[in-house]
Amino acid sequence: MEQKFKVKVNDSLDFSIRSDQAEELDLIKTSPSGYHILYKNKAFRAELTSDDFQNKQYNISINSNTYRVKILDELDLLIEKMGFSSGKNKKLNHIKAPMPGIIIGVEIKEGDSVKEGDTLLILEAMKMENAITSPKDGIIKSINIELNDTVEKGKLLIELE
């Protein structure tokens, strides 16, 4: 089965590639981290300068230019589309609904001090209870929802100081 991947280069260029396109790449390994690539009758010398296989992030030097490359597979894209991407909102002061649902529990009030990981509220979505936790230590500045509110994905729920 053909897989599709999204490739991000230097957080500024996005493109898609299919597994069959990657397999057709004219690539020869020249050293443990070096490669010779032939693409559209042009030769390129590439070297993998660092890799974070777990997070699918790589630094690649091609003809003396270094590029930061992140590869997202179909599962990564689905998780991102559902709003479950981790890390992006870690330091933000705004906590938004990761998915549509109903607020069935509010565990905090304005002015409360919270620690990273503390449960702030409970969001019911698709017959499942989801604990929304604090992404960092802080103080509750405002609560923009009430018990039994219906919220859409991306709605601002809580602001932290």
pLDDT digits (tens, 9 = 90+) for 68-126: 999 888 888 787 777 665 554 445 789 999 889 999 999 999 999 999 889 999 999 88
In tens, the pLDDT along 8-56 reads: 899 888 888 888 887 778 889 999 899 998 888 888 899 999 888 778 8
Q: Which tokens in the block code for residue 7?
A: 């490739």
What is the CA 79 to chain-centroid distance, rounded? 8
Topology classification of domain 85-160: OB fold (Dihydrolipoamide Acetyltransferase, E2P) (2.40.50)
| CA 23 – CA 18 distance, rounded (Å) | 9
CA distance 100 to 145: 13
pLDDT of residue 88: 47
- Residue 11 or 156, more confident: 156
Confidence (pTM):
0.48
pLDDT at residue number 89? 44
How many other C-beta atoms can be found within 10 angstroms of the C-beta atom of residue 101? 22
Q: What is the location of CATH 2.40.50.100 in the chain?
A: 85-160
Please answer whether residues 111 and 68 qualify as being in contact, where contact means their C-beta atoms are separated by less than 8 angstroms.
no
The DSSP code sequence of 54-86 is GGTEEEEEETTEEEEEEEE-HHHHHHHHTT--S
Kindly report the CA angle at 53 between 88 and 46, in degrees rounded to 5? 110
Phi, psi of 45 (to 5 degrees): -105, 125
